[in-house]
Amino acid sequence: MPSEKVTIALVQSSCQSDTAANLARACGKIREAAVLGARIICLQELFATRYFCQTEDYQSFDYAEQVPGPSTQVMQELARELEVVIIASLFERRARGLYHNTAVVIDADGRYLGNYRKMHIPDDPGFYEKFYFTPGDLGYKVFKTRYATLGVLICWDQWYPEAARMTALKGAEILFYPTAIGWATDEHSAGVRRAQREAWITIQRSHAIANGVFVAAANRVGTEDALEFWGNSFVCDPFGQMIQEAAHQEETIVVAECDRSRIEFYRSHWPFLRDRRIETYGDLQRRFLDE
């Protein structure tokens, strides 16, 4: 039987104001990851820009681009050259006045497989994404690439078990989460910082366990205005065990081997999908069970 092992990479990087420089840096990191043996490479959320959602500024809409468009084309050419799958998160201009937080998936032959639009849009101090992004309308998607069937969810989507479940039920073997999350720079409590980061890691590891899939989260690093991004990009196996994890302050490439045959093992020994009582979950479509 052919090997079910695939090596993946997460690019953990900082960003600057020059979008062309960010794109060039991302391409360089993809090349580095390919040299390290990665076949599927995921960039962080909105890799081409600084995290502009800290404020509501109409000028930031100028960062948006057509998808597929110029950045997508660059990624297609790179994927074809290196024979790697690329997951890239972009600020999509869908139409005049209509924008999405979007991830594109490029196959190893350079084919554009499609895109996922972020479904859950936050609106918190420092994360004013509802000002910029329309919630996704493509549903939860999987992409059958040369090396694995993968699902993509974006940042705030990380906190929702329903999103992970739906994507896993569609056949995803690896869930990728391009991310931009960090601490407020005026939050100095080490305990609060640790609790926030651990909650972020815990919820995603739980998605891996509940669904029997690999989970890979690619976060950014660096301080931008009032946010210090906490990095800690990681890959965990279908039982939530850490395979590789980055530090919180450094730029790096996280490389991990995912043995997809382990999905069968964990799902057989811990048969959560078998024992789901799907006929009892109808009320999940209600906002709250008032009665």
Catalytic residue among 15, 155, 236, 258: 155
Beta-strand runs (E) in the chain: 5-12, 40-42, 85-95, 98-106, 112-117, 123-124, 127-128, 142-144, 149-152, 174-178, 182-184, 214-218, 221-224, 227-230, 234-236, 242-245, 252-259
**Catalytic annotation, pick one of 15, 29, 42, 45:** 45
Cα dist from 76 to 44, 79, 138, 144, 233, whole Å: 17, 5, 22, 16, 24
HSE-up of 199 (CA within 13 Å, CB side)? Answer: 12
Q: Respond yes or no: is residue 155 known to be catalytic.
A: yes
Active site residue 236: no
Q: Catalytic: which of 15, 42, 92, 118?
A: 118
Query: Taking CA 89 as the corner, what is the angle to CA 252 and CA 22, rounded to the nearest 5 degrees?
Result: 55
**Active site positions, annotated:** 45, 118, 155
